[in-house]
Amino acid sequence: RPIEPRRESDDQNLVLVDWVFSCWRRGEILQVIDPNLGTDYIADEVKLVLLGLLCSQSEPVARPSMRQILQYLEASILLPDLSSLGISAIGLTFANRQSFVLGK
């Protein structure tokens, strides 16, 4: 389905990662779940959204390694608290945002 998040402004260039980060920062991460699912989803799978934010850091050294990602997915290690990592919108900026803009 096309992603049509409720926009907070009239900005036509919505960047998906920015929108997800904004939802997480406001404590509304469940807003990113497809509304067609209703409550028919596995809560632990929502953690994959947080893992996606970790993997979206613009600085490669800030991203988890593939080994860590596998450990998160296998639940052998817990996902870190994103707020304790100092993740910010600045860390999620991309050098070339055009390819990440919805509708382009």
Window from 53-62, 68-77, 78-87 with minimum mean pLDDT: 78-87
3-state helix, strand and coil shares in percent for the chain, rounded to the nearest 5: 50, 0, 50
The model's pTM is 0.64
* Cα angle value 89/94/98 (rounded, 5°): 120
**pLDDT digit string, tens, across residues 30-67:** 888 878 887 877 877 778 888 998 898 888 888 889 99
Identify the bridge partners of residue 101 per DSSP, sorted by sequence position.
15
**Which CATH architecture is the domain 16-100 placed in?**
Orthogonal Bundle (1.10)
* Distance from the first to the final alpha carbon of the chain: 16
- CA dihedral 65→14→84→39, nearest 10 degrees, is -90
Give domain limits for the chain: 16-100
